[in-house]
Amino acid sequence: MNTTHTPNTYSRRFVAAATATLAVAMLLMTPGKAQAVDGDRQVTHLRVRIVTGSDDLRQASNAFAEFSYTALNGNHISISQNLNNGANWPNGSTRTVEVELPSGVLYSNMREFAIRFQSGQSNPFETGDNWNLNDIRVTAILDDGSETIIVQDSGNPYHRFKSDVNTRRAWVL
């Protein structure tokens, strides 16, 4: 039996298989920007944007951002930051505050974010404050500069904080 083999001739099946293998190899080897949902990414800070509704956050009242996570050593850590430092947030206002986080906060280890309200009074004749939170968006900023929204809610109002009840609203992350 005399067969002739031309070295530069390949079957269509071989070419298709080689092309598919090369495409998969290129996808696996091409470095890309880490996605915000990568659990091993560190979160450097949170950006908290709040829209006040038709009942302002009065001067002398305070809104706190509370954040909890599991540290690398397994301990549960909670941090709190005053967002308005007793300043008035008028009806219909939008405020954005950055909350710096300690190093070592992994995206996958975030547990809870909350807003806690503390009613204040400028003088003894004022009644307790109430505050309408109409919109909230919390964005996690990762160590590679990427961002991902971890809390987003809105309503009219979304949550009404009262001087003595409903003083905390939390989201499980």
The CATH number that applies at residue 101 is: 2.60.60.20
Any domain includes 19: no
Any domain includes 82: yes
User: How many independent structural domains does the chain possess?
Assistant: 1
Any domain includes 52: yes
Any domain includes 34: no
Any domain includes 4: no
Any domain includes 13: no
Segment 90-121, tens digit of pLDDT: 999 999 999 999 999 999 999 999 999 999 98
Residue 132 tokens, joined: 């309408």
DSSP 74-121: S-EEEEEEESSTT--B-TT-EEEEEEE--TT-BGGGEEEEEEEEE---
* Dist. CA 37–CA 148, nearest whole Å: 8
Any domain includes 9: no
Any domain includes 135: yes
H or E segment at 8? none
User: Where does the pLDDT of residue 27 fall: very low under 50, low under 70, confident under 90, or very high at 90 and above?
Assistant: very low
Per the structure, the complete domain to which residue 134 belongs is given by 43-172
Higher pLDDT among residues 139 and 126, named by residue: 139
Among 27-41, 98-112, 152-166, name the one with the lowest average pLDDT.
27-41
